[in-house]
């Protein structure tokens, strides 16, 4: 079995190994006096340094200090360095006293003075360690953000192509045109409106969407056009209900995400039921979050799974855009309804 060692442990061993080697080199080549118990003392110092910095890293991860605002990061950086420099010094001086490794002929200091001197030396050592640790993670986070941005752009392009493909699907076009043709003599005004709705959908599908988010109101207008055309096809078999809090209309949402969920509701829900059914779209503020819910008649089955493009793209886009602060869930509500729920962080407009 192949053993994989993380970058952190490699850097720890290399860093403290280099500290040991430099200290020994300095002692053998540049020191003008012999130090009693030198090798034992430097070994204790390196082992303690290794342990102290590892505990310090655990503290940074436990309190997620790297995710805090920059001012808090800087303050925590300084406080951690001071506190662990003192802990490091206390442990070193204490072990030296316990193991009776005092240097003969060296100036005698009180334990407090010796801890203070060691704390100052350790402060600079731990300061360098922390600086390297924070810098590494800052560079890594920047790199991940760039990768996530590229992934998001790729996903949006993929979604655009999927949407274009579904909207320009001959069945969709033929169904819409047949419905419009039937209305030309019966209801010319509705036919003209239907042509406008179809034009709006095709235009939105063909446009290259460069924005990561759009106002909900813009997304809803396309969804309403789409549902209006489907209403002509399903007639009384399709019931559309909208419950939209007006205060949410300016909230940003990923483009075409709601459209994708509504299309899935028609394709996998309403169209599978002979008697048709209901699509209900809700937008509201819930516990300082923006929540969008799409409910439709039907049941989740083998035709919808977590690998389906609509579900997968929704999950991926929310993860990339909101870095784990948004959620998406799809489930059955009893035996007659399916619910898709999107929860996103609230944006102050």
Q: How far is the C-alpha of 81 from the C-alpha of 56, rounded, in Å?
A: 9
Q: Are 84 and 133 in contact (CB under 8 A)?
A: no
Over 90: is that where the pLDDT of 54 sits?
yes
Cβ contacts of 237 within 8 Å, gap of 6 or more: 270, 275, 276, 277
Over 80: is that where the pLDDT of 317 sits?
no
Place of tokens 């059955």: 332
Among 1-15, 21-35, 37-51, 80-94, where is mean pLDDT lowest? 1-15
pLDDT confidence of residue 162? 58
Looking at residues 255-273, what average pLDDT do you find? 84
Looking at residues 116-124, what average pLDDT do you find? 92
pLDDT confidence of residue 344? 94
Alpha helices in the chain (DSSP H): 7-29, 38-62, 70-98, 111-167, 170-186, 188-206, 216-234, 257-268, 309-322
pLDDT tens-digit profile of 233-248?
Answer: 788 889 999 999 999 9
Q: How far is the C-alpha of 294 from the C-alpha of 258, rounded, in Å?
A: 8
Among 41-45, 79-83, 251-255, where is mean pLDDT lowest? 251-255
Q: Is 187 helix (H, G, I), strand (E, B) or coil?
A: coil
Over 80: is that where the pLDDT of 125 sits?
yes
pLDDT confidence of residue 310? 59
Torsion of CA 281, 284, 290, 294, to 10 degrees: -20
Cβ contacts of 288 within 8 Å, gap of 6 or more: 346
Beta pairing class for 337-345 and 289-297: antiparallel
Burial of 200 (0-12, 13-18, 19+ CB in 10 A): middle
Model confidence at 90, in pLDDT bands (50, 70, 90)?
A: very high
pLDDT confidence of residue 19? 92
CATH class of the 168-345 domain in this structure: alpha beta
Model confidence at 314, in pLDDT bands (50, 70, 90)?
A: confident
Cβ contacts of 211 within 8 Å, gap of 6 or more: 255
Question: Domain ranges in the chain?
Answer: 7-146, 168-345
Torsion of CA 36, 42, 48, 51, to 10 degrees: -160
Model confidence at 281, in pLDDT bands (50, 70, 90)?
A: very high
Higher-scoring residue by pLDDT: 131, 153: 131
Looking at residues 29-54, what average pLDDT do you find? 89
pLDDT tens-digit profile of 213-234?
Answer: 889 998 898 888 888 888 877 8
* The pair of three-digit structure tokens given for residue 223, joined into one six-digit string: 């969804």
Q: Are 167 and 205 in contact (CB under 8 A)?
A: yes
Average pLDDT, the chain: 82
Q: What angle do CA 168, 238, 280 make, to 5 degrees?
A: 95
The torsion angles phi and psi of 201, rounded to 5 degrees, stand at -65, -45
* The pair of three-digit structure tokens given for residue 85, joined into one six-digit string: 């420099």
Q: How far is the C-alpha of 224 from the C-alpha of 204, rounded, in Å?
A: 13
Higher-scoring residue by pLDDT: 339, 106: 339
pLDDT confidence of residue 271? 82
Cβ contacts of 210 within 8 Å, gap of 6 or more: none
Q: How far is the C-alpha of 122 from the C-alpha of 111, rounded, in Å?
A: 16
**pTM of the entire structure?**
0.51
pLDDT confidence of residue 307? 44
Q: Is 236 helix (H, G, I), strand (E, B) or coil?
A: helix
Q: How far is the C-alpha of 73 from the C-alpha of 60, rounded, in Å?
A: 10
């Amino acid at each position: 079995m192949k053993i994989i060692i993380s970058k952190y442990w490699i850097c720890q061993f290399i860093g403290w190994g280099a500290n040991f080697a430099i200290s020994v080199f300095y002692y053998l080549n540049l020191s003008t006096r012999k130090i009693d118990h030198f090798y034992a003392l430097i070994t204790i110092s390196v082992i303690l340094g290794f342990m102290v910095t590892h505990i310090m890293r655990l503290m940074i991860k436990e309190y997620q200090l790297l995710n805090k605002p920059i001012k808090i990061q800087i303050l925590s950086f300084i406080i951690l360095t001071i506190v662990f420099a003192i802990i490091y010094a206390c442990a070193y001086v204490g072990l030296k006293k316990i193991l009776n490794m005092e240097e003969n002929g060296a100036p005698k200091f009180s334990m407090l003075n010796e801890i203070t001197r060691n704390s100052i030396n350790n402060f600079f050592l731990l300061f360098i360690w922390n600086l390297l640790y924070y810098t590494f993670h800052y560079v890594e986070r920047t790199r991940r953000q760039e990768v996530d941005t590229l992934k998001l752009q790729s996903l949006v392009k993929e979604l655009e192509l999927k949407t274009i493909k579904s909207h320009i699907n001959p069945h969709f076009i033929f169904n819409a045109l047949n419905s419009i043709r039937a209305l030309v003599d019966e209801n010319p005004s509705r036919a003209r409106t239907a042509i406008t709705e179809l034009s709006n959908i095709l235009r939105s599908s063909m446009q290259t969407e460069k924005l990561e988010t759009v106002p909900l109101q813009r997304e809803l207008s396309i969804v309403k056009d789409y549902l209006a055309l489907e209403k002509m096809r399903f007639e009384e078999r399709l019931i559309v209900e909208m419950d939209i809090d007006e205060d949410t209309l300016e909230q940003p949402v990923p483009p075409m995400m709601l459209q994708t969920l509504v299309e899935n509701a028609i394709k996998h829900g309403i169209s599978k039921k002979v008697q048709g059914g209901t699509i209900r779209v809700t937008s509201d503020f819930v516990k300082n979050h923006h929540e969008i819910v799409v409910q439709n008649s039907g049941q989740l089955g083998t035709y919808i799974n977590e690998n389906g493009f609509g579900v997968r793209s929704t999950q991926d886009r929310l993860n990339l855009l909101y870095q784990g602060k948004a959620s998406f869930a799809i489930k059955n509500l009893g035996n007659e309804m399916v619910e898709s729920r999107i929860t996103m962080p609230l944006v102050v407009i």
